[in-house]
Amino acid sequence: MDRVEEMLGEVRRTFKGGRTRGVEWRKAQLQALLNLLAENEDKIIEALRQDLGKHPVEAYRDEVGVVKKSATNAFRCVEKWMAPQKGRIPVVFFPARGAVVSEPLGVVLIFASWNFPISLALDPVIGAISAGNTVVLKPSDLAPKCSSFLANTIPLYLDPEAIKVVEGGKDISEQLLQLKWDKIFFTGSPQVARLIMSAAAKHLTPVTLELGGKCPTILDTLSNSSDLQVAVKRIVGGKWGPCNGQACIGIDYVLVETQFAPVLIELLKKFIKRFYGENLKTLENLARIVNKHHFERVHNLLKDPNVAATIVYGGSVDEENMVIEPTILLNPPLDAEIMTEEIFGPLLPIITLNNIEESIQFINSRPKPLAIYAFTKNDSLKEKILQETSSGSLTFNDAIIQFVADTLPFGGVGQSGFGRYHGKFSFDTFSHEKAVLHRSFLIELEPRYPPWNDFKMDFVKLAYDFDYVGLVLLLLGLRGLFRRNRRQ
Distance (Å, whole) CA 207 – CA 181: 10
Q: Of residues 210, 257, 325, 342, which has the active-site annotation? A: 210
Distance (Å, whole) CA 219 – CA 179: 47
82 contacts 75 by C-beta, under 8 angstroms: no
Is the peptide bond preceding residue 450 cis, with omega within 30 degrees of 0?
no
Strand-by-strand arrangement of the 431-439 sheet? 85-87, 96-104, 431-439
- What does the radius of gyration of the chain's CA atoms come to, in whole angstroms? 28
Q: What share of the chain is helix, strand, coil (3-state, %, to 5)?
A: 50, 15, 30
Which CA distances in Å does 267 have to 96, 327, 328, 407?
A: 65, 14, 12, 33
Distance (Å, whole) CA 191 – CA 198: 11
Distance (Å, whole) CA 174 – CA 195: 9
Distance (Å, whole) CA 408 – CA 405: 6
248 is catalytic: yes
* Cα dihedral 259→263→266→268 (10° resolution): -100
Distance (Å, whole) CA 332 – CA 341: 13
Q: Of residues 58, 243, 248, 257, which has the active-site annotation? A: 248
388 is catalytic: no
By annotation, the residues acting in catalysis are 210, 248
